[in-house]
Structures are given as structure tokens and as C-alpha cells.
Structure 1
Amino acid sequence: MSVSKKYFLMFLLLSGLIVGCSSIERQTEKAVKAAEVAFRDDDKQPNVEAGLIHVYLPQGFKVEEEDDNNVIIKQADKAYLLFVNPNEKEDSSVLFLAIKKQAGQYLVLHSFQNDDKFGFISIKESMKEKYELAVGIGGVKLTTETDKDRLKNDAKQMMEVVSSIQQ
């Protein structure tokens, strides 16, 4: 193999790696923006009662299991874990700070704030091509596992769910 062919093959390999990395970066940026827009909109009203929690669930979502502070939500074959700490208000950053202690593991750890509430999004790789996505406001956090192509849509819908819960 000639030297120029070796360099060409090396260039193709490096290009593939760069495109792969930038692709997840692009998807995480879109997810953060979608979550922030949903955080600021705050227009979804609860349409489901799950134990002590009144929550908005998008079409196709259903409550699978519930107890006082945790709800397992299903949508098709995907599970979401909703956690509600009734001792925290919408402006609390306790859940975010707990996640921040493990910050080295996250691809994204971003917070949003307005006058009366504090929200966040975190994304970390859980296994090859799968990502743990969590969004929260105050003492409410919703977590799921998703793939990179669904990060934006999941982040938006999850923030709508979280923002519908009165704290």
C-alpha cells in the first residue's frame, strides 16, 4: 500500500471519528435547547393522577406503577422514572447539586433558572449508543434511557411532564 493510500485511509478513519463525536454533541445541544424552551413555556396542565402526584402525560404515555413519591411511566417499550421530593420547592437546586457531584460522568449537565424555579438537564452515556437522560425542576426529576436521535424529543416531552407538577 502506498503512503498516500495509508494517509487517505487514516484521514477517513479520523473523519469518521470526528463526525461521530460531533453528531452526539449536536444532538445534546438540541436536547438542551428543547428542554429549556419547555422549561420556560410551562403551559402543560396535569391530566393524570398518580398517587399523590398530579401530572401531565403526553399522548401514548401511561402510568405503570406508582407510590407516594415515585411513578414509573411507560410509552411503548420505554420506561421513565418520575421522582418527586415533596420537601423541595420549584426553586430548589438540591437534585441538581447531587447530580453535579458526579459531573465528570456527564456529557451534559446544564441548569436553567427564572424568578421562581430552577431546572436542569443531564445526559450521560449509559452504554454504546444509549444515553441516560434526566430533567428536573426543583424537587422533581424524570429519568429515562434513550438513543441519540431521540434526545431532543425526549428532553422536550420530559420537561413538559416535570413542569406540570405543582411543588
Structure 2
Amino acid sequence: MFIKRNYIFLFLLFLTLTSGCQATTDELLEASTIAFSDSFTATYPEPNVEAEQVSYYTSEAVGVRDETEYNLILEKDEQLFLLFFNPVEELDSTLNLQRDMEAEQEPLLLETYEGTEKQAYLIISEENEDEFKVIAGIGGAKVSTITVNSNLEESVTVMMEVLHSLSYN
């Protein structure tokens, strides 16, 4: 009987400790908002990854998995990032923002940035219980991904890094 109670106690202790260490959705969204906002004051080195149509900088191990006209599939570890770009659209274009707002009717987060030369946005929606759909864009370029909760902030950082440093070849 004593051993059975110890197992129950240890199990309850484990549940309490692991649930207390997980960030809430609000905390994850707040951290992502900060990563998005901070990206506009960061400086990025020259592009260090060159694809056929575009170049970009990344400090992470983000490689090109596939390339088609105006699209790149990027991969970091096993997470895919879809980069869509339209070289005709300027940095202050709102075309992608308008389309993505129509597609994502009830996002958990919608952040925008309007600078003198750039129009940017971040949309985060719940994909399922443990994942988010993330779309980030600057002008005519955008990146989207599905990410697990624990990688949300890092995913936003990687996406904004690619978008801010994107140049057309």
C-alpha cells in the first residue's frame, strides 16, 4: 500500500512540475510579437544563402529543399518554411497582407508594421492543440510554416531574418 501511494505521489509531482514549465498560449504569442517587433531594429549581414532567384541571410541551419518559380521550400531540422515572393510587388505592398487576412478569419494574433519603406505583418493561428500556423510577410514576400508550440518564437525569428535580408538575383 505504501509503495502504491509513493507511485501516485511521484506521478502527481511529475505532472505538476511538467505542466508548470510549459508556457501559455498568451506567453508564446507575446514572445512572438516581441521577436517580430525586434526584427525591425536588428541589422542583418549580407545574404549567405543563394538560390536561383533570390538570396537571403540566415544564422540558423536553414537550407533550400526545393525551388520553383517564385517559391522556395526551406528546411530547418525537419520543419518546413514556404517562402513565396513576387519581385514585382514593392516592400510597402499590402497585397499578401490583404489575402492572408481574408484566409485567416480568426487568427490568435495579427501584428502589422507600417514603416516609410516597408509594410509587414505577422499572423498566427491555431493549427491544432500543439501547433500554430504562422505567416509573416514583408511587401511582396511571405513565409509560412506550421510549428510546434515550443518553437513558435524561434520560427518567427527565422522567418523575419529571411524576409528582412531577402534580395532578388
TM-score band, normalised by shorter chain: 0.7 to 0.9
Q: Does 1:51 align with 2:52?
A: yes
Q: Where does residue 84 of structure 1 map in the other structure?
A: 85
Contact 1:74/1:80 (<8 A) preserved: yes
Letter aligned with residue 73 of structure 2: I
Change (3 A) 1:152 1:37: same
Cα deviations across residues 8-47 of structure 1 (Å, max 9, x unaligned)?
xxxxxxxxxxx9xx81012111101101111332424211
Cα displacement (A) at 1:107: 0.6
Q: Where does residue 15 of structure 1 map in the other structure?
A: none
Q: Where does residue 147 of structure 2 map in the other structure?
A: 146
Cα displacement (A) at 1:103: 4.4
Q: Where does residue 62 of structure 2 map in the other structure?
A: 61
Change (3 A) 1:80 1:151: same
Q: Where does residue 9 of structure 1 map in the other structure?
A: none
1:9-48 paired onto structure 2 within 5 Å: 23-48=24-49
Distance 1:68 1:46 in 2: 20
Letter aligned with residue 117 of structure 1: K
Distance 1:24 1:64 in 2: 30
Higher helix share: 1
Distance 1:57 1:34 in 2: 15
3-state SS, counterpart of residue 64 of structure 2:
strand
Q: How high is the TM-score relative to the length of structure 2?
A: 0.80
Q: How high is the TM-score relative to the length of structure 1?
A: 0.81
Cα deviations across residues 51-78 of structure 1 (Å, max 9, x unaligned)?
1111113331111101231000111111
Cα displacement (A) at 1:133: 0.9
3-state SS, counterpart of residue 160 of structure 2:
helix
Distance 1:45 1:161 in 2: 11
Q: Where does residue 132 of structure 2 map in the other structure?
A: 131
Distance 1:39 1:136 in 2: 13
Cα RMSD for the two superposed structures: 1.8
Contact 1:109/1:120 (<8 A) preserved: yes
Q: Where does residue 6 of structure 1 map in the other structure?
A: none
Cα displacement (A) at 1:117: 0.5
3-state SS, counterpart of residue 41 of structure 2:
helix
Q: Where does residue 10 of structure 1 map in the other structure?
A: none
Letter aligned with residue 25 of structure 1: D
**Identity among equivalent pairs (%):** 27
